[in-house]
A = this chain, B = another copy of it.
């Protein structure tokens, strides 16, 4: 099905639900809100149904009153559209909405998409679902105003790591150019989305860095995070996200490991590599999984034995 076919189909319905995936990120929220605003301009009734509350960093996005987190269970929609969602598992608790609505549409850019809806559109070359929604809004012939532009900018900027990841194409920047022209406050949005942090996370990073060890001539970086460190910093588990990149970004480091205490005798492990080590295979050996450059697993034991097992495995690959 072409995107024009999908759009022609969507235009037939009036009471529309739009679903981001569970643990929705900037692309999911930005895409859903942008499409919602555009459809409302065509006098559709739109409900964006979220699984979890929108995170603080996206709370500045416009027209959040479109979002429902509950109370939608008994509602009947003419059409439901899932965005940026690879499979039904990622629809989460909102699967009833999907199952009770006759007309379902799935629009995504993940290569693993299972085509779980009645009408499916997949573009794996799109850096973000936001790029596809930008096209949809153009096909709908709705003017991209500053609200829509801001939502799409957040969608595209977050899924490309602020235009730094390898999925960034000339099309990504061409769309960003148009969005900026239409009124995105680039500095304010970027500060909020990319550069805002909490004192707890900063304090956790300080403590985590204190544990940094560089082994194998500086090619291997280890950081450990205990529950005591989390408590002392007042930090939450999600504050551990991204700490593995601190090791990875050091000159000369090929593989970076963060070992995080999950419970007594159980450690969650994040693995990253820069160019040649396949950390996905290492994680697989310990019952986990992932990709060549980014993987994870859970290992039982004490901190020292977990560290030693990972060190032994990784040093053979360096």
Contact = CB atoms under 8 A, between A and B. Distances in A.
A162 B165 contact: no
A56 B186 CA distance: 29
A173 interface: yes
Interface in A197-219: 197-199, 202-203, 205-206, 208-210, 212, 214, 218
B166 A187 contact: yes
A305 interface: no
Interface in A208-240: 208-210, 212, 214, 218
Nearest to A57: B251
Contacts of A195: 164, 245, 249
B218 A209 contact: no
Nearest to A233: B209
Nearest to A168: B186
Interface in A149-205: 157, 161-166, 168-174, 176-178, 180-181, 186-187, 190-191, 194-199, 202-203, 205
A306 interface: no
A246 to B, nearest CB: 6
Nearest to A192: B251
A176 B173 contact: yes
A246 B195 CA distance: 9
A250 interface: yes
A209 B169 CA distance: 36
Contacts of A161: 190
Given A162-B163, A163-B186, A250 B174 contact: no
A163 B181 CA distance: 14
A214 B234 CA distance: 14
Nearest to A208: B206
A209 B214 CA distance: 20
B186 A177 contact: no
A169 B185 CA distance: 10
A190 to B, nearest CB: 4
8 tightest CB-CB pairs across the interface, nearest first?
A206-B209, A173-B177, A164-B190, A166-B187, A170-B181, A174-B177, A173-B176, A170-B180
8 contacts: A162-B163, A164-B187, A165-B186, A166-B187, A168-B180, A170-B180, A176-B176, A209-B209
Given A163-B176, A174-B174, 16 more contacts: A164-B186, A164-B187, A164-B191, A165-B186, A165-B190, A170-B178, A170-B181, A173-B177, A195-B249, A198-B250, A199-B251, A202-B246, A205-B209, A206-B206, A206-B208, A206-B212
